[in-house]
Each structure stands twice: as C-alpha cells, then as structure tokens.
Amino acid sequence: MVVVIIIGILAAIAIPAFLNQRTTAWQGAAQTDVKNAQLAVESWAAQKNGNYSTLTQAILDGLITESDNVQVTLGAVSANAYSITATNANITDATKDAYTVTQSGSIVGPN
C-alpha cells in the first residue's frame, strides 16, 4: 500500500512537469519556424534589392518548411517592411501560441 501511495505522489509531481515541457517544446518549434522564415525572407529580399513588396504567402511557403502543427503566416508587407507570425496548433492557450517577427529581427511572443 505504501508503495502505491509513493508512486501516486511521484506521478502527481511528474505529470504536470512533463505537460509543461511539451508546451515549451511546441513554443520552441513556433519560434524556430518564425526565425527561419525571417532568414529566408531576408535572403529572398536581398535578391530583390531589399524590396519586400512582391512577397506573398505562396512565396513564403516555397521558402520554408514548417514544423509539425506550426502555421507560418505572412502579415503586412510593404517595400521596406513585413511581419511574419507562427502559431502552433498543439497549444490550446491562445495567449501562448503565437510568435511574430518583423524586418527589425526581434521576435515578439508570449515568453
């Protein structure tokens, strides 16, 4: 009986920690994908004399490979600016699932 109680206590400690690590990994996948998308767009724009105005979602999709359940979406685009957002469908809390990067290079997200 004591062994069962000890196993129950250990499970009560380990399961929440495991679930938190999964969310952290899913967030990491979204962060990595948005940063990779930024690098791909910057390389693409370098061939266009630094002009982002012709960048489309289809072009972005051709430049990158998304992680499982991560959606990378192109936001507003102008000649000298853009935004890209990555979300992970595994994360059910909408306040923790989106990361956005702009031409400035800083990633904005829930961390």
Separation in Å, CA 10 to CA 1, 3, 19: 14, 11, 15
DSSP string, 19-74: HHHHHHHHHHHHHHHHHHHHHHHHHHHHTTTT--TT--HHHHHHH--PPTTEEEEE
**Are 45 and 52 in contact, with CB atoms under 8 Å apart?**
yes
Identity of the residue numbered 67: S
Per-residue pLDDT reduced to its tens digit, 54-107: 999 999 999 999 999 999 999 999 999 999 999 999 988 877 779 999 988 888
What DSSP character marks residue 83? E
Residue 34, pLDDT > 70, answer yes
- Percent of the chain clearing pLDDT 70 (strictly above): 99
Kindly give the pairing relationship between strand 70-78 and strand 98-102: unpaired
Note the pLDDT of residue 10. Answer: 85
Categorize the per-residue pLDDT at 14 as very low, low, confident or very high, splitting at 50, 70 and 90. confident
pTM value is 0.80
pLDDT for the residue numbered 21: 85
